[in-house]
């Protein structure tokens, strides 16, 4: 599997979990410590750390440890890859629907009886 496709798979796997999506949404507001990220979730700190490990493996999140505090931040490039993939699919469907609309205009059905 080519590297971009593998990265995209990891991105969507990471975003498949609602807790991880919540973490990404929080990090979109700015960097946060692991403790700050864990606060809104009813789970242990080690469980949140496991979610962060998945997000880091996918490239969506990066972290840095300074002293005893690990601070996480979002990696916009990984989100851009997913956004581009979704945008390409959307453009394909818009073109298909436009062609269908053109076909239906050229081949109108008879008037309802």
Q: Is the pLDDT of residue 3 over 60?
A: no
Domain that holds residue 15: 3-106
Sort residue 3 into left (φ over 0), alpha (ψ -120 to 50) or beta. alpha
Q: Is residue 61 part of a domain?
A: yes
What pLDDT was estimated at residue 110? 61
Residue 111 lies in a domain: no
- Position 1 confidence tier, pLDDT thresholds 50, 70, 90: very low
In a domain, 112, yes or no: no
Q: What is the mean pLDDT of the chain?
A: 90
Q: Is the pLDDT of residue 102 over 70?
A: yes
What is the reported pLDDT for 59? 93
Q: How far apart are CA 57 and CA 51, in angstroms?
A: 10
Token pair of 71 as six digits: 């601070």
> What are 15-42's pLDDT values in tens digits?
999 999 999 999 999 999 999 999 999 9
Q: Give start and end residues of each alpha helix (H) in the chain.
A: 3-15, 18-27, 34-38, 45-58, 76-106
Beta bridge partners of 74: 61
pLDDT in tens, 71-92: 999 998 888 888 999 999 999 9
Q: Has residue 94 been placed in a domain?
A: yes
pLDDT for the residue numbered 45: 93
CATH number of the domain where residue 51 is located: 1.10.10.10
- In terms of C-beta density within 10 A (0-12 exposed, 13-18 middle, 19 or more buried), how is residue 3 classed? exposed
pLDDT digits (tens, 9 = 90+) for 4-20: 566 889 999 999 999 99
Please report the pLDDT score of residue 111 as a whole number. 52
What's the total number of domains in the chain? 1
In a domain, residue 97? The reply is yes
Q: Is residue 113 part of a domain?
A: no
């Amino acid at each position: 599997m080519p590297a971009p496709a593998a990265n995209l798979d990891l991105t969507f796997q990471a975003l498949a979990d609602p807790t991880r999506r919540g973490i990404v949404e929080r990090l979109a507001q700015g960097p946060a410590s692991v403790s700050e990220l864990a606060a809104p979730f009813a789970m242990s700190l080690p469980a949140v750390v496991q979610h962060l490990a998945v997000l880091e493996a996918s490239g969506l999140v990066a972290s840095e440890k300074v002293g005893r505090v690990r601070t996480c931040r979002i990696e916009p490039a990984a989100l851009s890859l997913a956004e581009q993939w979704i945008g390409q699919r959307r453009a394909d469907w818009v073109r298909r629907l436009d062609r269908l609309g053109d076909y239906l205009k050229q081949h109108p059905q008879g008037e309802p009886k």
